[in-house]
Chain A
């Protein structure tokens, strides 16, 4: 039995019983934590709206040790990130980011760098940078942080050193033309896209957000979504949501 305290972001929730909620947090000091927030669905709850998706706060929880779920005692809002919820594209991209964090990490597995990346990305989504770019920058770095960095220096199948002509992107990284031919799941990638991927990974965050990379952004977005889907064993839910809401505005069709 222990009392814990940490800064944390709300990354999901679902209703429990009459008026409670099970809330998933990504915390700085404990990684992913799931807990019960009693009576939080009441209109006048002591959590008073604090447990909305994307909210950053200071969480106090009690771990009884008898259940996977902790008891959420307090959550004091540090930053609500409410601007992220005010348009569908921002909301969709922020949800993709949060889905990656929720589904690529295990409970109580601490990754301070991932936590910092999450907060930084939410912050960027409140600013002028197009939301799809923020998600792509997040995705490139999140895979790296979690040890899933795609291999871009050699064919992941036969080991042939890159550069080679007509590269493709597949499971785990770049694939040469001969190996790609045997696997239907590959997407051809322009060399410019592979270069852009490297830049987004290694440049300063602020640079990566604004660097002009043209349609490589879409290609990297699609590749990242495919990578994440492969790692979690099913398509991401938020990519479907983004496709659905974009049908209203065919011009903003960027991935993920």
Chain B
């Protein structure tokens, strides 16, 4: 890449670090940005910095938020007896879009994965246990993805939480295997939530 001017090479290099972006896409994006008006590019760079400056992880549920605790954890109208466990903040948003769920969340920030060597200590499992020992929760809804990692995580959590004597449910198997929860449409996801069953 030595034949590019230094700032161009630097941006291409930076964009390539993003997930799903290879060298060709990084080049295309760079030359696209070069052609855009300066205000537009400034807006983009400022919003990039703003997410790092203003967005934090909620120390209770690990959702992304502007304030800690997040809007959901702070809302007294949300049912504290229901706790929905999801893998990523995107999955939480998908659940919220259904408009059906009135409980709280716990974001694991990942899923167990034998082939990637991701174990329980690498995701927010300890933090989940600590929350449940607080005692308010009556039901934990495991809404991890319907794929190998998500199922493994649900199996593990069901086993881990069983001694606590809390009702543990898994969202319905009606969700097609292998997809990402965040791509599920609202109707499918509402149905899956409604049809949740006890596991473990």
Contacts and interface: CB of A to CB of B under 8 A. Distances in A.
B10 to A, nearest CB: 23
B183 A42 contact: yes
Given A18-B20, A88-B156, A88-B159, A48 B176 contact: yes
Given A15-B20, A98-B115, A245-B120, A43 B185 contact: yes
Contacts of B117: 237-238, 240-241
Interface stretch (B37-45, B51-59, B144-152): B144-152
A85 interface: yes
Interface in A202-251: 237-238, 240-245, 248-249
Interface string B112-128: 11111111110000000
B188 interface: yes
A243 to B, nearest CB: 8
A68 to B, nearest CB: 13
Contacts, number: 95
Contacts of A95: 114-115
Interface string A48-64: 11111110000000000
Nearest to B147: A52
A51 B119 contact: no
Nearest to A10: B148
A148 to B, nearest CB: 21
A223 B114 CA distance: 20
A45 interface: yes
A256 B112 CA distance: 18
Contacts of A45: 178-179
Contacts of A85: 148, 151-152
B160 interface: yes
Interface string A22-59: 00000000000000000011111101111111100000
Interface of A: 12, 15-19, 40-45, 47-54, 85-88, 91-92, 95-96, 98-99, 102, 237-238, 240-245, 248-249
12 contacts: A15-B20, A17-B20, A44-B176, A45-B179, A53-B148, A54-B148, A87-B155, A91-B114, A99-B114, A102-B115, A238-B115, A238-B117
